[in-house]
């Protein structure tokens, strides 16, 4: 069954492993860089490819996902690709209806309102087979990348997925989801367990299909204070890492580095650094040198330029990148933005960001 520890597939040899080496905490010649939402609406070719189909139909087309994943790599010398997909394919696979409303974002016509609504959810063990289209997209993209850079797989963390399923979409307060935590703690834990049980085989399936790293997005960490986070988010974040790693080992798959990105979760940095992930992603509200002091030398940090800095003139972008690289230090570091790219950003400025990271990180290593 197995070929070179890569599961059932034989893929082209990796030519640029800088991102993976940094993720594992090994020394690199320069700082690797990729951008959250690098396959996105800021690229005219992305808008063109996406124009014909609705959002989730695109997600279900391996050919379209592969094309969208590769587009930013044709423009920029990025050090990693991240598969084009969405965190909400997991609630969909659990049987919930999700639509993407243009200009509004995701919408769940029938959100979870009562504990009895949990009965509507499918068996989490069946989720991986529902998401075979993601695995197909990953395998196809790994082949077409031809070993150029590693491919990252991803998923949303349990609390973040729960917020969408209960709120029925985005929310500025997450009041309905938090109401569950306070009024229905048992039901909340039950839902978070269902999500964890769905995520583990989904993430392992991504690795079996060819993903060479995994990122877990806890995008709504900031709506929880330390107490709620430690009770309803962190245990499941830890559990996902622990169970994915042991499942990879049991199935004879090589380990992959795992990244946790908890947006606005700066109050939990120490805990996240000890949650079983090789890399901790930071948003732009955290000072790099303070983050490094708090997490120690054992983990790699990823981030954390304010995405809006890309609206600045290119000269200013270069200055900000220099400052960021200087603050993070040369090793155990992956450059990224502190959140995803926005649709109205200029691709030229994204290019300036990527080039500045490569250029200045080499200069700083010489000094």
Question: Pairing mode, if any, of strands 213-218 and 99-101?
Answer: unpaired
Q: Which of 42, 164, 236, 277 is catalytic?
A: 164
- In angstroms and rounded to an integer, the radius of gyration of the C-alpha atoms of the chain is 20
Active site residue 133: no
How far is the C-alpha of 4 from the C-alpha of 11, rounded, in Å? Answer: 9
Per the residue annotation, which of 17, 30, 50, 236 is the catalytic one? 50
d(CA 152, CA 194): 24
Identify the active-site residue in 17, 37, 142, 243: 37
Instruction: Given the residues 41, 75, 294, 319, select the one marked as catalytic.
Output: 41
| Known catalytic residue at 247 | no
Distances (CA, A) of 119 to 23, 114, 159, 201: 39, 10, 19, 21
Nearest-angstrom CA–CA distance, 266 and 282: 8
* Helix locations, the chain, DSSP H: 18-23, 44-51, 55-59, 62-75, 89-93, 127-130, 132-145, 158-167, 175-183, 185-209, 226-228, 234-250, 269-273, 288-295, 314-328, 347-366
Query: ∠ at Cα 127 (121, 133), nearest 5°?
Result: 130
HEC assignment per residue over 29-76:
CCCCECCCCCCCCCCHHHHHHHHCCCHHHHHCCHHHHHHHHHHHHHHC
Instruction: Quote the CA–CA distance of 224 and 140 in Å, as a whole number.
Output: 38
Instruction: Identify whether the C-beta of residue 118 lies closer than 8 Å to the C-beta of residue 194.
Output: yes
113 is catalytic: no
Give which of 330, 354, 279 is closest to 20, Cα–Cα. 279
Return the sign of the alpha-carbon dihedral for residues 228, 92, 131, 201.
positive
Is 243 noted as a catalytic residue in this protein?
A: no
DSSP 107: E
For residues 304 and 266, the answer to whether their CB atoms sit within 8 Å is no
- Catalytic status, residue 37: yes
Q: What is the largest CA-CA distance in the chain?
A: 62
Catalytic residues: 37, 41, 50, 86, 164
């Amino acid at each position: 069954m197995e070929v070179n520890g890569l599961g059932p597939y034989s893929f082209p040899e990796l030519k640029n492993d800088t991102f993976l080496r940094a993720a594992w905490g090994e020394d690199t010649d320069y700082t690797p860089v990729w951008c959250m939402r690098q396959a996105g609406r800021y690229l005219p070719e992305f808008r063109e490819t996406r124009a014909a189909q609705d959002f989730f139909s695109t997600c279900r087309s391996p050919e379209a996902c592969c094309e969208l994943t590769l587009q930013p790599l044709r423009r920029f010398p990025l050090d990693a690709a991240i598969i084009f997909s969405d965190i909400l394919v997991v609630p969909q696979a659990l049987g919930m209806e999700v639509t993407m409303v243009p200009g509004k974002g995701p919408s769940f016509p029938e959100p979870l309102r009562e504990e009895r609504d949990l009965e509507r959810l499918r068996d989490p063990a069946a989720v991986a087979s529902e998401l075979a289209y993601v695995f197909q997209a990953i395998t196809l993209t790994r082949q077409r990348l031809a070993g150029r850079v590693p491919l990252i797989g991803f998923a949303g963390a349990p609390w973040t997925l729960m917020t969408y399923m209960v709120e029925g979409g985005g929310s500025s307060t997450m009041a309905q989801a938090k109401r569950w935590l306070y009024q229905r703690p048992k039901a909340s834990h039950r839902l978070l367990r269902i999500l964890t049980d769905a995520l583990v085989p989904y993430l392992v399936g991504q690795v079996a299909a060819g993903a060479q790293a995994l990122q877990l997005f806890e995008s709504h960490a900031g709506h929880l204070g330390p107490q709620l986070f430690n009770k309803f988010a962190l245990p499941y974040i830890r559990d996902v890492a622990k169970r994915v790693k042991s499942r990879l080992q049991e199935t004879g798959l090589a380990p992959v580095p795992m990244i946790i990105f908890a947006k606005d979760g700066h109050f939990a940095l120490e805990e996240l650094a000890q949650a079983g992930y090789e890399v901790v992603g930071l948003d732009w509200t955290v000072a790099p040198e303070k983050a490094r002091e708090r997490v120690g030398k054992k983990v790699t940090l990823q981030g954390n330029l304010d995405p809006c800095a890309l609206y600045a003139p290119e000269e200013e972008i270069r200055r900000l990148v220099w400052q960021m690289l200087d603050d993070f230090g040369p090793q155990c570091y992956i450059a990224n933005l502190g959140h995803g790219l926005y649709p109205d950003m200029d691709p030229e400025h994204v290019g300036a960001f990527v080039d500045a990271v490569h250029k200045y990180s080499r200069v700083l290593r010489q000094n």
